[in-house]
Structure 1
Amino acid sequence: MLDVEKIPFGLANIIIGEDDDTLTFDGVEEMQAEGGEVTLTPMFEDIVIADYGNGVYDQRLVGFEGQVTIVAAQESIDVLEAALAATETITDTSGGEKKGIMDAPIGTSLRKKAKRVRIHPRQFPDSMKDLDITIYKMASNGEFTRSNANEQGNITITLNMFPRDGMDPSKPGNFFYFGGIDPNGEAPKE
């Protein structure tokens, strides 16, 4: 029987980062101008066997690509940092408070800036993690565009997926998982 209570509907909470370093799009801390979107794409290499007419005999998994897109309704330094990972923070010299961002030095690693992302359908209580999607490492390598017109401004954040730290290509669970149990035992810190 169809359980209509488990049909995802509406916005999702999208949590970027962990502990004190989080950016939470939940309609309270940060708001979305449009709904978010996640795309996970397996990458394959063809196995071609001449005995079978040089057609594709099989395909083998060689990796994954993934993106999460969020359209932020508000601008803040944290939102700008998420949208442009190739930046450095400008801090107040007296208290260390974030005051802005600037371009990062040439050669800056995006992997080091990447953060865990968890997507939780907003209609379900936070304790119900069955439909959550967790991606181990994501960072933006995209562009920043601001339209200054007589319309609502927003910032598009496009995060791209990297393999997790300590990945083992001979085992599963290197990029993402669905549900509330991390197969690598690296449960997110909340």
Structure 2
Amino acid sequence: MNPEVRKIPFGQSNFIIGEGENIMKFDGKEQLQAEGGEVTLTPVFEDVNIADYGPAVYDKRFVGMETSVTIVAAEETINIMELAMGATTAITATDGGATVGLMDAAIGTSMRAKGKRVFIHPRQYADTYTDLDITIYKMIADGEYTRSAANEQGNVTVTLTGLPRDGMDPSKPGNFYYIGGTDPNAEVVA
């Protein structure tokens, strides 16, 4: 096999979080990563036991999905801090404009409403090669924020956890993520 054709993973990936005006790109240009990012897709199963076969598991049924993304941002900005800490509310300038700070959200605030789409593209491939792209429909920050005050390079770890997509249909596949360039849940435009 031609070595150029082998798909051996190597190097950074672009992590694009959100859509439209609120997009944040960890692509080595707009936002920098202090370390490589990581995505984990973990299926959740329930055992099916049959008395006729004793304590052995007869089958496993797929009952859900756990997805997570970790990015270590090299910079610390209000926007990155807000991304890293899901349970926040923006403090805006007195004229109602720009965000000037963050505060903890009200108790009982829905994190689902703050969920964002996450798109991951390996940088080693051209933008037009989408076969190995991973898109997770809805993710929220539920990790902790820690700031080191040591005499060393600081960074901000962003930990995101997936939720089922809006409009989920548990009787059909494609509720948490897809791999490749075609969204199986995209609306068909007539």
Tell me the distance in 2 between the aligned counterparts of 1:51 and 1:97: 66
Q: Is the counterpart of residue 168 in structure 1 residue 169 in structure 2?
A: yes
Q: How many residues align?
A: 187
Tell me the distance in 2 between the aligned counterparts of 1:106 and 1:14: 30
Unaligned runs of 5+ in 2: none
Tell me the percent identity: 64
Tell me the distance in 1 between the aligned counterparts of 2:170 and 2:3: 36
Tell me the distance in 2 between the aligned counterparts of 1:91 and 1:122: 36
Shift of residue 100, structure 1, vs aligned partner: 1.2
More displaced, 86-95 or 152-161? 86-95
Shift of residue 23, structure 1, vs aligned partner: 0.9
Give the match's secondary structure for 1:105: coil
Tell me the distance in 1 between the aligned counterparts of 2:119 and 2:3: 24
2:41 corresponds to = 40
Shift of residue 71, structure 1, vs aligned partner: 0.2
Give the match's secondary structure for 1:82: helix
Tell me the distance in 2 between the aligned counterparts of 1:2 and 1:61: 38
Describe the shift of the 1:44–1:21 C-alpha distance in structure 2 as closer, same or farther (beyond 3 A): same
2:53 corresponds to = 52
Shift of residue 2, structure 1, vs aligned partner: 5.3
Shift of residue 124, structure 1, vs aligned partner: 1.6
Shift of residue 126, structure 1, vs aligned partner: 1.7
CA displacement 1:121-161 (0-9 Å, x = unmatched): 01222222111000000011111101100111000000000
Q: Which amino acid aligns with 2:82?
A: E
1:177 corresponds to = 178
Q: What TM-score comes out, normalization by structure 2 length?
A: 0.94
Give the match's secondary structure for 2:112: helix
CA displacement 1:12-52 (0-9 Å, x = unmatched): 00000001111110011100000000001000000000101
Tell me the distance in 2 between the aligned counterparts of 1:181 and 1:172: 14
Describe the shift of the 1:43–1:2 C-alpha distance in structure 2 as closer, same or farther (beyond 3 A): farther
Shift of residue 8, structure 1, vs aligned partner: 2.6
Tell me the distance in 2 between the aligned counterparts of 1:119 and 1:17: 12
Q: Which amino acid aligns with 1:44?
A: F
1:100 corresponds to = 101
More displaced, 169-178 or 49-58? 49-58
